[in-house]
Structure 1
């Protein structure tokens, strides 16, 4: 500590002041000189001890910071006292807790990324393996023409599946990264629903399913028409997929001073109580899911809706059908 330039300067100043004080006291009286000498020694000693204690505390904090930099966030240096050092300790502790929370979040995101990559690899592996096998079969010159057409069509289906998966993942990643700018235009709900129904009408016709739409054609909310349609399409696909032939899908919508609500119901096989809490989790496939299901459509729907100041609620039970309720809360628009 003595080698510290600040300490050397402090001792030099204090000694100089003490010598001057002793000389002045000696002029007045030898007794005052001795008294001043003793007092100076005591003051210099007290200052030295106090400075040594502060440097020891700072050294402790430096060691604490080194431990933090190495990833140890378990230490607690708070002493619940008054003073600058105590304030510094408290701020360091707060910073440590914040770093600990951020580290936990990063670890969780790293785990989620690892799981997502694993899920994506699994989803791509199946169609790629299927296409590889069918490509080898097509190359056989003795393969009948009808089989060649069948395999070619199957390859096209698998390619469409891969294209949809990659496109959906790109959209989700953009939403997660906050790079999607959702428009704030007036969306007429009746037009939105009829637009979202178009991609599933053929499947519904094949399965002889019916759909009913009920609501005032003036009901609206402020949001992004195309992205919201994307969310509704994924929900409708889920309803069509899990509703038997001849089933029914009901859509209703309304609004009040707080929110605009869209309700989509089906009379299908429903969602089990065990699966219900996880249906919006990416790549989650419930026990009633089809073999071709990826488990990403509902996750995307939730991300789109929540990004537009909305919520999705679901009510269901096995053999009781499923009901999705979307609420878009109103806000002030200039």
Structure 2
């Protein structure tokens, strides 16, 4: 018995000195452990929360908003790092970074879950302020840039008088570079609006097969230039109808398929597949490019990230925009890759209206 008491005391000392909040819930969803840092973060005392449902902290009624429900109880996933919002005792909503872990014994029997979390509200506020400053800066740049492009085009069209061949050559270079900058600014502003939920999907019944064929048509010139075949594989049925924003979904898919065309080797094939998987549609986009090193896979959906094989064009925002658009639809995008053999992107899209509130 003394050894058991010593072990219990040691455990309490360790958990109370952790620099992060620590909470354990049993398989019934009741809180059974709550350390000092968790008290400081939430404003609740240990005695107040023990034996109560962990939904006490929920800022949203949606199941997916709770990492414990989503990753531990629903899917029994291993350690998962994510961010969410909770409500303190004083009613204040705060942002936390949380790692959730299912508690399984040696026989694989489920006993509950644990969460390690820290308050990142100040960090998120600084991030939003930085994004707002960048957005304002980009917006203020765009209008004079467009005006400058217009004036250069007027000169190139001869509306201000004759120019020499060398002048026309130099002005064409300037015009093309300015158009590239304008495209980068537009991409950044679009991503910023998506991130801040200022650009929301307009949902309607969307036929997926014609949508993919339209994207193929739009990308046909780029594919022909590399002698790349665009192949579409789907079961012979007409029921591929999703509740989605057709324009945003087209953009998300175009970014991913265009990337595949860009990075695949010449005289090869980019294959887009479409199937049903449970209550979702599953797209696959496979290329035969150089592949992505395993250590780089977690980075490719980050804003402004560009792989080692990029050609200098583009903003590094395409995949980040696609991921954000799909999240607005309640969907997701993942990638599997093998260096020197190629990559396959998997896009999941709910069949019904599964958008996140």
* TM-score band, normalised by shorter chain: 0.5 to 0.7
TM-score by length of 2: 0.57
Range 278-287 or range 176-185, more displaced: 176-185
- Residue of structure 1 aligned with 2:270, choices 240, 245, 249: 249
**Change beyond 3 A, Cα 1:203–1:121:** farther
In 1, the alpha carbon distance for the partners of 2:94 and 2:222 equals 51
2:123 aligned counterpart, secondary structure: helix
Comparing both structures, which one devotes a greater share of its residues to strand?
A: 2
1:4-39, CA deviations, whole angstroms, 9 ceiling, x for partnerless residues?
xxxxxxxxxxxxxxxxxxxxxxxxxxxxxxxxxxxx
Residue pairs, 1:83-232, within 5 angstroms: 94-95=89-90, 104-111=120-127, 114=130, 145-215=164-234, 216=236, 218=238, 219-232=240-253
**How far has the Cα of 1:239 moved from its partner?**
1.1
Q: What do the CA deviations read for 1:198-237 (whole angstroms, capped 9, x no partner)? A: 3322111111111111113512211011110011111122
Per the TM alignment, residue 119 of structure 1 is displaced from its structure 2 partner at its CA by 11
Greater CA drift, 211-220 or 108-117: 108-117
Query: CA 1:241–1:148 in 2, change beyond 3 Å: closer, same or farther?
Result: farther
Distance 1:201-1:187 versus aligned 2 partners, 3 A rule = same
Secondary structure, counterpart of 1:275 in structure 2: helix
For this pair of structures, how many residues does the alignment match?
Answer: 239
**Take 1:267 and 1:198, find their aligned partners in 2: how far apart are those partners?**
21
Q: Which 4+ stretches in 1 moved above 6 angstroms?
A: 73-77, 115-122
Alpha-carbon distance in structure 2 between the residues aligned to 1:79 and 1:297: 46
Q: Indicate the SS of the match to 2:339.
A: coil
* Aligned counterparts of 2:169 and 2:339: Cα–Cα separation in 1: 36
Structure 2 Cα separation of the partners of residues 190 and 93 of structure 1: 47
Closer/same/farther in 2, CA of residues 179 and 285 from structure 1, 3 Å limit: same
Query: Does structure 1 conserve the Cα–Cα contact (< 8 Å) formed by 2:43 and 2:90?
Result: no
Unaligned runs of 5+ in 1: 1-72, 82-91, 139-143
Cα displacement (A) at 1:99: 5.4
Distance 1:109 1:242, change over 3 A: farther
Contact 1:247 1:268 in 2 (8 A): no
Equivalent residue of 1:211, what SS? Answer: strand
Q: Deviations over 1:69-121 (max 9, x none)?
A: xxxx789895959xxxxxxxxxx984499658597234234247648978998
Task: Give how far 1:175 is off.
Answer: 1.7
Partner of 2:60: none
The equivalent of 2:99 in structure 1 is none
Q: Secondary structure at the match of 1:190?
A: helix
TM-aligned CA distance change 1:332 to 1:310, over 3 Å: closer
Contact kept, 8 Å, 2:42 with 2:89, in 1: the verdict is: no
Distance 2:199 2:44 in 1: 43
Unaligned runs of 5+ in 2: 1-39, 49-86, 97-117, 156-162
Higher fraction of helix: 1
Please point out which of 291, 311, 329 is paired with 1:308: 329
Secondary structure in structure 2 of the residue aligned to 1:168 = helix
CA RMSD of aligned residues (A): 3.9
Q: Is the 8 A contact 2:41 2:119 kept in 1?
A: no
Q: Is the 8 A contact 1:175 1:303 kept in 2?
A: yes
